Amino acid sequence: MIMKKQAVVVAIGMLGVSMAFAAPKHARMPLKNDTQRVSYILGLQAGQSFKKVGVKLDQRAFIKGMNTGTTGTKPLLTVQQMQTVMMRFKTALAIKLKAKVATLAARNLAKGTAFLAANAKKSGIKTLSSGIQYKVIKKGTGMMPKATDKVTVDYEGSTINGIVFDSSYKRGTPATFPLNGVIKGWTDALSHMKKGATWMIYIPAALAYGANGQPPVIGPNEALVFKVHLIKINSK
């Protein structure tokens, strides 16, 4: 999670929008064989996907389309009509999702700014010129890594709400990577750490994953918290 990745623009997993489906009267329909079970699973997965992106469906029309597709009967719309409708639908959905992501990004930025402002006043917290905050848990000795070095670390990353999204401690295996190949906040913070040190690091959104985030766990403009133990420096 700490490595740089291609930005994912649509934060699908964080948008809780309800579907227009009505609850069935017989929710406890027995699934007597694998054909029924597979059918149910496919329907469930489709429904969950629609819900995540906020798609509102007409259940009768949806089932009609499903029946048309499975029986091979003539569709009610031409290929051109379907393409036109779906293009209009995708454009509207993209606008809707973009607006929701923008709202979430603004909210997260405000929360992160408030968190860091309060955190800066706590005992033992120091702030680098970049705005990164840190607290020394254990002092290190010797050299500090350069941006061109590879480092071996144990770490745990979480949101300011305490949700852990990645942990080498839990995996039981330290991570090794080039210091200039991670988020800017890591490059800056670790370049101030000495070998053997353990720090708590508090990173503003702009130096973490920014406005894009890393869905579904890290939202847009989220400040992040890391516990980092610098085990080894592999200098070039």
Could you please report the per-residue DSSP string of 106-162?
Answer: HHHHHHHHHHHHHHTTSTT-EE-TTS-EEEEEE---S----TTSEEEEEEEEEETT-
Domain tally, the chain: 1
Choose among 13, 105, 101: nearest CA to 52: 13
In terms of C-beta distances under 8 Å and separation of at least 24 residues, what long-range contacts does 113-120 make, across chains too?
Answer: 113/204, 113/223, 115/160, 115/202, 115/223, 116/202, 116/204, 116/223, 119/202
CATH code of the domain containing 14: 3.10.50.40
Question: Model's pTM, two decimal places?
Answer: 0.73
Range of the domain at 72: 1-236
Q: Counting every residue, how long is the chain?
A: 236
Instruction: Determine the Cα–Cα distance for residues 125 and 140; give it in Å rounded to an integer.
Output: 17
Q: Is 165 helix (H, G, I), strand (E, B) or coil?
A: strand
Under a CB-based contact definition with an 8 Å cutoff, are residues 219 and 175 in contact? no
Under a CB-based contact definition with an 8 Å cutoff, are residues 196 and 138 in contact? yes
Choose among 37, 9, 82: nearest CA to 45: 37
Instruction: Determine the Cα–Cα distance for residues 48 and 54; give it in Å rounded to an integer.
Output: 10
Residue-wise pLDDT tens for the chain (236 aa)? Answer: 454 443 333 333 333 333 333 444 446 788 999 999 999 999 899 889 888 878 888 989 999 999 999 999 999 999 999 999 999 999 998 998 899 899 999 999 999 999 999 999 999 999 999 999 999 999 999 899 999 999 999 999 999 999 999 999 999 999 999 999 999 999 999 999 999 999 999 999 999 999 999 988 899 999 999 999 999 998 76
- pLDDT for 27: 61
- pLDDT for 202: 98
Under a CB-based contact definition with an 8 Å cutoff, are residues 170 and 157 in contact? no
Tokens at 87, concatenated: 């293009």
Instruction: Determine the Cα–Cα distance for residues 30 and 198; give it in Å rounded to an integer.
Output: 55
